[in-house]
Each structure stands twice: as C-alpha cells, then as structure tokens.
Amino acid sequence: MCKVDFCRRIVAPFLMLIVLSGCGAEKQQITETGMLCTYESGASDTLVIGSTLLLVDGAISDGGLVVLSSGRIGDVGSFDELATAFPEASHLDCRGNTVLSPGWVNIHEHQAYSYAFPDPKLKAVYHHREDWILGRNDMLQLAVPDDQHYNPDVPMTHALLSWVELRHLYAGTTTLGGSGAMRGLARNIGVPRNAEGADAAGYTFAVGTEVFPFTRNATEQFAGVCGVDGVSKLLAINDSNPELAFAPHVGEGRKSDCTASAEIDAYLDYVAEQHTSRRRFAAVHAVATGPEQFARFAELDVTLAWAPRSNLALYGETIALQESQHHGVRLALGTDWSPSGSFNMLEEFSCARAVADKIGVALDDRDLWLMATHNAAYAVGIDEAVGQLKQGYYADIVLLRKQEGKDAYAAAVNASAADVAIVWLDGKPTFLESGMAAQMDLDSDCVSLTAEDKFLCADFETVGITWEDILVMTTDAVPINGDTTGQAPCNVDHLGK
Ligand SMILES: [Zn+2]
C-alpha cells in the first residue's frame, strides 16, 4: 500500500480523483482533467519539470528541465528521458497546456519609488524629463514619491521595497534592475545605495544604473550644444563604477528635444572612448534616438532599454521602433516605475505590442520575449547566469498557462497575471496557484493570498520582515496581484504609421 502522505501529495484533496490502489500503479493513474500539472513527490530534493520550454533558439515541446537543490538548473531536454534519468526526483508534469520560460529580467525599475500611483496631473505633454522633474519651460511639475531606499531604522522602507519586489515576482519577474534592493526576494541588479551597505545583501549583480549621468540639470549641461548660450558646458559623465556594466538613463525626451538628442550623442561618444574593454553598455529610455544614432547603437553593441508605457504617458511618443529594428539594435524591456510605467512586465509586453501594431512593425513574439530575458541579461553582462533555461543558470523560472493552439512565445508575451502558474526563484517556488501548492504539499508552509487563489512562499526570515507587517504598511501602495487599476495609460493614438 502506498503511504498516505505520498498519496496526498499527488492527489489534491479537493479533486474528484480516482482511488489509488498501490504505489506501483499510481504513476500511470495520476492524470486529472482540469489540472494544469500532475505531481509525484520523490525522495530527493531534485525536481524535473515537464512543459514546452522557451529557449533562445526555439521552443521544445514535451521538454524537461531539472531543478537542482542548489537552486541551479541541471539538465534540459526531453521530459520522458529526464524523468527516467532522475527516478528519485519529484516530477511535475505540465506538458500540453503550459510554457516554461526564464523569469523576466526587468532591466529598469526604481523600486524605492515604485509603490506609488501616478500623479493625477500626469499628461503626455512633456518634452524632456526635466520639464516634469524641475518645471523646465514653466511646465507643471509632477509629484515624485518619497524615497524609500532601505533604511534598517525605518520599517516602512523594508515593507514597501518588499511589496514592490513581490508585485514583480507575482507576474513572473525574477531579476530587477535599479536601485532599491531587498534581500531574500527578487534578484537585484545595481549597486548598494545605503552608505552603511545595509542594502548590499539584496544585490546579486553589480551594475552601474546611473539615473542622472549628466547631473540633474542636463539642459544646463547641454546649453552650448543646443545653442542657448553658444558655449558647451558639458562636464564628464557620471560613471562612478567604470569596472561595471553601465546602464544609465539617457535621452529621455522627445526626438525634437535638443537636450535629449544631445545626451544620446554624448553617451555614444563616451561609449566609443570606453569600448576597448569587454564592458557592456545599455541606454535606458533613449526615446530621442535618431536614425544615425541607432546605427551607432548597433556598431557599439549598446542595448536600448525600452520602457514604452512610461515614454507614452509622459512624452506622447516612444522610440522609433522601426528604425531600431532596421539597424538591428538590441532591445530590452523595463517597467521604469509605477508613477508613469507598467505595474509589471506583462503590462510592458502588452504596451510594446500595442506600439508595434499601431505603427505597423512586425514584431515577432519571440523577439519580444527576448527583450525580457536574454537581451536584458546581455545588456548588463549577466547573460551567463540568468535569462535562459540553460544548465548551470539560476533556476529563476516561470510556468505560464498556454491557450490551446497558441504559439509558445505568444503564450508568454500575451499572458496575464492570472496565467502565471508558478514562479521559481533560486529553484524554490515563490508564487504558485493554490491547487499547485496543495499538490506539492506546500500549503502549510506558505501564505495564502485567498482573494487571488495564490500562495506566496517567501522566506520571510531572510527577508527580515513578517508578511503581516508588510500588509499593514502597504495598504495605499500599488497592489501586488496584477490589478492594473490606476496604471498609466499606454496611449498609442498619436503614433503614426
Ligand atoms: Zn527610469
């Protein structure tokens, strides 16, 4: 007879499932209609997942991927072969109606501010970001949320940063680029901000993400270039960690804005000077990039970190997508921040698709998927650790529901938060559907988000704050559950064909 515990792990209690009679026969009897996956608990800590795998070179149907107890990906190949090769492992077979993807690498966030809803005054009237930050050209300034970078003496910072990371994890992001890391949750890209290094434990990858490379007043820096006083005042670019990959904000303004355009030239000149090393370079936003500048992006191997929703919400335009494609510029996607950008990466996919459709650019689903996986990892030099389902990489993975008949990459880039079935971070399930939690016997170890029918399995001891405390302090923040009420619009009406 099989052990009760073993049976319970396979058969979620709420299922109308067959009575099992002996362990030997069970593996043939566990399929259940209406369920996304079947699960067999094994004796080892290894897990074999079966699904359609999204790889850089193409999708593998009936694929299998091994998650090792170290939190890394083991073999990748056929599920049947791997299930046979790892008989002691647990087997989670989700073939047929799911896709398995690397978790999203969101290259551009500002976690310390990204808890806030847009200012009600937000309108797409600005020409350069200094219009709304500084009130340049007598334009209406927008409210910038209070800075919530981690401070161990201020519990609110801890709660809000955790909340923002959980919101991204919920929708499949496993790596976040930008300052404002919180340990124990999403993997972070950036450099510690806190002078005492209190936030250092949050960063897996050191990357320079300078938001103000031309100081906080680029208009003044480029006054000469732009013909205001005839003398260039451009100072050296702020690049305090020249040994690291560099992903600064550059050219965030309309194409017609001289300062925004001059920033791009100055940055590309800087990259050309620096480009003797194997250092990776990206440019965040770069909305103002013109045709010749795109050619230089390609030539200098600079990735453009695209944030279409935030661009459209503030400036009424975004990058010249067709030109960027024409010149073969590598694009990566990022959400920017909740006051003007997408609340999660699935919303950013949706906005990027809307832009492409409106201007008539044929944007392949796989190319869009690459912008949130391998391209983003390449942009900042972490492409040998994340962004692919590949042996030795971090097991940061997302399992998504796939509509029947839909292309595998389309399933990923058209997914809604409700389609995210499981998110693994470091090989551990972080968010998973309630049914899955019951199947995998995780329901007693994890927090139930009842309204969303999901379980959260974060290690709050490592995070250093309880779930209850997080809940109490985040009642006014953008919710984590994929609810996009109040999100800035992705208005493509004014984009021409
Ligand atoms: Zn930004």
DSSP alpha helix (H) spans, 16-63: 23-26
Q: How remote is the CA of residue 315 from the centroid of ligand 1, in Å? A: 14
User: What's the pLDDT score for residue 192?
Assistant: 82
- 222-228 long-range contacts (CB < 8 A, ≥24 apart) are 222/258, 222/259, 222/262, 222/263, 222/266, 225/258, 225/262, 226/258, 226/259, 226/262, 227/258
Q: How remote is the CA of residue 293 from the centroid of ligand 1, in Å? A: 21
Sign for the CA dihedral angle at 4, 5, 10, 14 comes to: positive
Q: Are 38 and 58 in contact (CB under 8 A)?
A: no
Enter the pTM of the model: 0.92
User: What's the pLDDT score for residue 378?
Assistant: 98
Q: How remote is the CA of residue 6 from the centroid of ligand 1, in Å? A: 49
Per-residue confidence in pLDDT tens, the chain, 497 aa: 233 233 233 333 333 233 333 333 333 334 343 589 999 999 999 999 999 999 999 999 999 999 999 999 999 999 999 999 999 999 999 999 999 999 999 999 999 999 999 999 999 999 999 999 999 999 999 999 999 999 889 999 999 999 999 999 999 999 999 988 988 899 999 988 765 667 788 899 999 999 999 988 999 888 888 876 655 656 678 998 999 999 999 999 999 999 999 999 999 999 999 877 789 999 999 999 999 999 999 999 999 999 999 999 999 999 999 999 999 999 999 999 999 999 999 999 999 999 999 999 999 999 999 999 999 999 999 999 999 999 999 999 999 999 877 899 999 999 999 999 999 999 999 999 998 898 898 877 799 998 888 999 999 998 999 999 999 999 999 999 999 999 999 999 989 75
Q: How remote is the CA of residue 211 from the centroid of ligand 1, in Å? A: 7
Q: How remote is the CA of residue 112 from the centroid of ligand 1, in Å? A: 11
Q: How remote is the CA of residue 250 from the centroid of ligand 1, in Å? A: 10
CB atoms near residue 45 (< 10 Å): 13
Q: How remote is the CA of residue 110 from the centroid of ligand 1, in Å? A: 6
DSSP alpha helix (H) spans, 135-257: 155-170, 218-221
Domain over 4-103+393-473 is classified CATH 2.30.40.10: yes
Q: How remote is the CA of residue 170 from the centroid of ligand 1, in Å? A: 21
Q: Which residues contact 396 (CB under 8 A, 6 or more apart)?
A: 102, 103, 174, 175, 187, 386, 424, 425, 426
Q: How remote is the CA of residue 310 from the centroid of ligand 1, in Å? A: 9
Q: How remote is the CA of residue 458 from the centroid of ligand 1, in Å? A: 27
Report how far residue 66's alpha carbon sits from residue 79's, in angstroms, rounded to the nearest whole number: 9
Q: How remote is the CA of residue 109 from the centroid of ligand 1, in Å? A: 6
Q: How remote is the CA of residue 131 from the centroid of ligand 1, in Å? A: 15
Domain 105-379 adopts which CATH fold?
Answer: TIM Barrel (3.20.20)
Q: How remote is the CA of residue 144 from the centroid of ligand 1, in Å? A: 12
User: What's the pLDDT score for residue 346?
Assistant: 98
Token reading at 37: 């996956």
Q: How remote is the CA of residue 248 from the centroid of ligand 1, in Å? A: 9
Q: Which residues contact 160 (CB under 8 A, 6 or more apart)?
A: 115, 148, 473, 474, 477
Q: Are 190 and 199 in contact (CB under 8 A)?
A: no
Q: How remote is the CA of residue 336 from the centroid of ligand 1, in Å? A: 4
Q: How remote is the CA of residue 284 from the centroid of ligand 1, in Å? A: 7
Closest listed residue to residue 94, CA positions, set 432, 413, 395, 374? 432
> Three-class SS of residue 229?
coil
Q: How remote is the CA of residue 96 from the centroid of ligand 1, in Å? A: 38
Q: How remote is the CA of residue 106 from the centroid of ligand 1, in Å? A: 12
Q: How remote is the CA of residue 450 from the centroid of ligand 1, in Å? A: 33
Type of residue at 340: S
User: What's the pLDDT score for residue 230?
Assistant: 57
Q: How remote is the CA of residue 321 from the centroid of ligand 1, in Å? A: 19
User: What's the pLDDT score for residue 83?
Assistant: 98
Closest listed residue to residue 438, CA positions, set 416, 453, 420? 453
Q: Where are the domains of the chain?
A: 4-103+393-473, 105-379
Pairing state of beta strands 47-55 and 90-93?
A: parallel
